[in-house]
Amino acid sequence: MTEKEAKLANGGGGMAERKVPEVIDQEVIRREASSVLAAGDVSLTELWIEFFARGGMAGLEEFEAFVRGLMTVANTDLQILDLTMDELRNP
């Protein structure tokens, strides 16, 4: 196998290396969101607005269902919610 063939077989060949998105545990994020809401610093609607403003795609009803443990959301939304909660805790 030539060097070029080896690079192509390993995903190389001059193309930028793609990063695999981190998979976030839904239950961990759900518990953190519930904890943030239980602390009373923000309401569910306020947390959702902050999440949505950062690019979250889940609507308010989906967001509430996720926080209550009734459904799951996309990994991207989990990452955005995690970021949102970090930014609210550390302004």
CA 84 remoteness from chain centre: 9
**pLDDT tens sequence across 9-66:** 555 545 455 555 567 789 999 999 999 999 998 999 999 999 999 999 999 999 999 9
Does residue 59 contact residue 51 with C-beta atoms inside 8 Å? no
pLDDT band at 90 (very low <50, low <70, confident <90, very high): confident
**pLDDT tens sequence across 1-15:** 556 555 555 555 454
Residue that wins the pLDDT comparison between 89 and 32: 32
pLDDT of residue 36: 92
pLDDT of residue 10: 57
Could you tell me the residue ranges of all domains in the chain? 21-89
Q: DSSP label at 12? A: -
